[in-house]
Amino acid sequence: MIRVMVVDDSALVRKIATDILSADPEITVAATAANAEFAMAKLERERLDVITLDLEMPGMGGLEAIRRIMSARPTPIIVMSAHAQKGAELTLQALEAGAIDFVLKPSNSLSGGIPAIAKELTEKVRDAARIVMGPPQSLATPLETRSAALAEPHRAAPPVYAPLPLDGERYDLVAIGTSTGGPVALKTVLTQLPADFPVGVVVVQHMPPVFTKAFADRLDSCCAVRVKEAENGDLILPGRVLIAPGNWHMIVTRFGAEPKVLLNQNDPVNGHRPSVDVLMHSVAREYGSKAVGVIMTGMGKDGAEGLRELHGRGGRIIAQDQNTSVIYGMNKEVVQNGNAHEVVPVDQIAFRLRTNVVGVSAARSVV
């Protein structure tokens, strides 16, 4: 049985979450708490596999609770997030502090209400229960280091490093796909790219509306490259990162004078909109051998087929390794399919991008 503690100051939300999780025969709600102080006390007494956590509670806030849990008894945490802009910003901070993932609380603005989140919450609790947490982290440890301590059991083959091209290949686009664990992984990669990175970057991060805008703004404030939530028709420019907006697929096109992104609301693919596969298929067809595809941490298979096509058309594929992935799923599919040229730790992806896109000598000069 997966033992869960539900932490929320709302009795109604605690009951809803408890009812949803208890309906799964493999999950039991072992404890509930109305605030973080009670949760910390129960954490000492209960054996817990996963915690669902509200961020806005009286007394100790959710962010402080996450930091204390990670320093006392690291446990996978799924944030129950509000829909508003403030809720999105707090959720992103929670992910950086060590939370695994988040689900949206039921609201009138969410189509389907409670049933819409029931399946998602149950699946994410199941996924989180598979994660083996690292050792307790000091509260003084940087957030990114604490977050990077998460890893699944080491079952994968050792990282694969393809030989560096002697003269450095030249590419025209970098496309990145990720999901669970992606916000911290993307921050790790994008903060290492220089402002004059010579090509554009397009990204699909599985995330709902409002959150993608807050996420892009947060990255833009800490990266040398420019980061924005994509709008229909945005140009793909050197040193610019475009993140697909929640609930919109994003594709690339080179039709006309300048390359750009286009958005659509076609049916979800692999259960996602935006979908990594949708992006990667368009990258394969528009850029072929002139694109680098990157697949990082995330549950499921989204991106595997698109990257298979990109690989077949001569593009270069980089996969994040298992040891630095919160969930070794999307990237695992690409590696096992034989479509990854390189399998590297997350903190080496930016170096490999600079190597492949800029060239060996130029890349080494900026390390």
Which residues are annotated as catalytic?
179, 206, 302
Is the bond into 274 cis (omega within 30 degrees of 0)? yes
Task: Write the DSSP string, 102-136.
Answer: EEEPP-TTSTTSHHHHHHHHHHHHHHHHTPBP-S-
Nearest to 279 by CA among 267, 261, 301, 299: 261
Angle of CA points 347, 349, 354, to nearest 5°? 120
Residue 144 is encoded by which pair of tokens?
A: 């990114």
Distance between CA atoms of 160 and 75, rounded to whole angstroms? 30
Distance between CA atoms of 149 and 346, rounded to whole angstroms? 12
Specify the amino acid at residue 349.
I
Distance between CA atoms of 152 and 163, rounded to whole angstroms? 27
Query: Where is 291: in which H helix or E strand?
Result: strand 291-295
DSSP state, residue 309: H
Tokens 């990109």 sit on residue: 310
